[in-house]
Amino acid sequence: MTQPKFFNEMYAGGKVREQYADILRWLEGTGPAFIVDKQREAEALFHQIGITFQVYGEKDAGERLIPFDIVPRIFTNLEWSTLERGVKQRAQALNAFLWDVYHRGDFIRAGKVPAHLIYQNTAYEPAVVGVSPAQGVFSHIVGSDLVRTGLDEFYVLEDNCRTPSGVSYMLENREIMMRLFPQLFQSNHIRPVDDYPDHLRRTLISVAPPRCEGVPAVVILTPGTFNSAYYEHTFLADEMGVELVEGRDLFVRGDFVYMRTTRGPKKVDVIYRRIDDSFIDPLCFNPDSMIGVPGLMNVYRTGGVQICSAPGAGIADDKAVYTYVPEMIRFYLGEEPVLKNVPTWRCSEADDLKYVLEHLGELVVKEVHGSGGYGMLVGSASTRAEIENYRQRILADPHDFIAQPTLALSTSPTYVDSGLAPRHVDLRPYCLLGSQIHLCPGALTRVALKEGSLVVNSSQGGGVKDTWVLA
């Protein structure tokens, strides 16, 4: 099999692209010893600040520092404007779909998607049927993962409509870069990202329930200190100036939710939840949940509190439902998609399953409800035994898998032990939806630090870097 040709974002036609010219001159004029010192300084800052992530299921599992690369990924304003149109379009269509599937189901009635794929999906929540959240928004923070394969070629890998994580890395990456290399920000006009918490807070306030009186009280609901994204929960609470609470800090009385404080109960209007649906309310979902709030769903359904993002939003980021998003855009918005989907085979369909089983060595196969890079097969990087084991998993439950071609992900210049080298990257921009829609002019860029690797997840050895959008 011929090796795919990867697009190097620093070069076009053998020449350095204009947006990278200053960075390359700076790197070439800076001694390797200085770069290494700054890389160590960045790692020390990450350690000092406490930017960690949790790894599960390994012998040495626990908290780790996320690797940070000091070479930024750079987009021109023109490139970003295209991405912005595409991400906003997609987020609006996904929210229209969520409203529809929990109300009339017109998309299903029109035969655009099989009914069983929605109503028999474990991510579909019957408890939300008929609920009409403020502003008609079910998913308030959408993080669609994008990859680039060419100068003007971007694809959406998947959508995250529940609790997309990583925005704290985006913000801290920028803060550390500005502290380490202020001269680069003086010589380049880079759009700021530090107002994201303000936009998030305004978004949450804008969707306060109709029974809210006065200034809405906003809280972040966390599972607790052992969650992999706990650092981000505390970071966002501090940046927004809101309370970080666990389920035991909240209780239901009558038609409202209250927070326990040293001055007595305080009414809560908006809950930015960072826990999974099944744990939100033990009276409605998993009865064994110890981290939820008993009775919360009753208050939500009667308009006494807003939950962001709404329970049941996960049906929109199901990897099988993902394949229908381009049609959602046409159906709900009457527009052609700005961003393309990756061609995808649904193993639940006989013809697709046959093709996937015959080409496992060439495809990337994912669990429909998987995340974090776990439970995935990259056929081209797997042994024959691994492929055969995965084949048995697919045959045991074909509905649980989708497959995609191995894309020629673009590379971004990255500083490694041997110097500057290309490494594969993806992109997660953050789109906020409330009374208005806002896309932060920056994103989380994840980088596969292992040479040749296409897996960028931090849990699988990936790192992060700052993402610049030039003004």
Total count of domains within the chain: 2
Q: Identify the pLDDT of residue 55.
A: 52
- Which range has the worst mean pLDDT, 59-73, 322-336, 344-358? 59-73
Same domain, 111 and 92: yes
412 and 398: one domain?
A: no
For residue 286, pLDDT beyond 90: yes
Torsions phi, psi of 419, nearest 5? 115, -150
Burial of 72 (0-12, 13-18, 19+ CB in 10 A): buried
1 within some domain: no
Q: Is 6 within a domain? A: no
Question: Mind listing the pLDDT tens digit for each residue in 307-338?
Answer: 999 999 999 999 999 999 999 999 999 999 99
Indicate whether 273 and 296 sit together in one domain. Answer: yes
Paired with 271 in beta bridges are 219, 307
Question: To which residue do tokens 């013809």 refer?
Answer: 351
CATH number at residue 357: 3.30.1490.270
Q: How far apart are CA 161 and CA 312, in angstroms?
A: 10
Asked if residue 298 and residue 179 are part of one domain, the reply reads yes
**High-pLDDT (> 70) share of the chain, %:** 94
The tens digit of pLDDT for each residue in 21-30 reads 999 999 888 8
pTM of the shown model? 0.93
pLDDT at residue 54 in the model:
56
Note whether residue 197 is domain-resident.
Answer: yes
Closest CA to 279 of 265, 271, 268, 290: 290
| Residue 97 pLDDT > 80 | yes
- Indicate if 89 and 79 belong to the same structural domain: yes
Question: Is cis: bond before 309, omega within 30 of 0?
Answer: yes
Do 353 and 267 reside in the same domain of the chain? no
Last residue of a domain, one of 359, 381, 405: 405
- One DSSP character per residue, 135-184 reads GG-S-SEE--EEEEEETTEEEEEE---S----HHHHHHHHHHHHHH-HHH
Q: How far is CA 232 from the centre of its chain?
A: 13
Are residues 434 and 354 located together in one domain of the fold? Answer: no
SS3 256: strand
Same domain, 87 and 236: yes
Q: Which residue has the higher pLDDT, 39 or 327?
A: 327
Q: Which residue has the higher pLDDT, 340 or 55?
A: 340
| Tokens matching residue 281 | 């309310």
Query: Does residue 320 sit in the same domain as residue 394?
Result: no
Average the pLDDT over 352-373 and give the result: 88
pLDDT value at residue 327: 98
Same domain assignment for residues 249 and 365: no
- Residue percentage of the chain with pLDDT more than 90: 77
Q: Are residues 300 and 316 in the same domain?
A: yes
Give the residue numbers spanning the domain of 397.
343-405
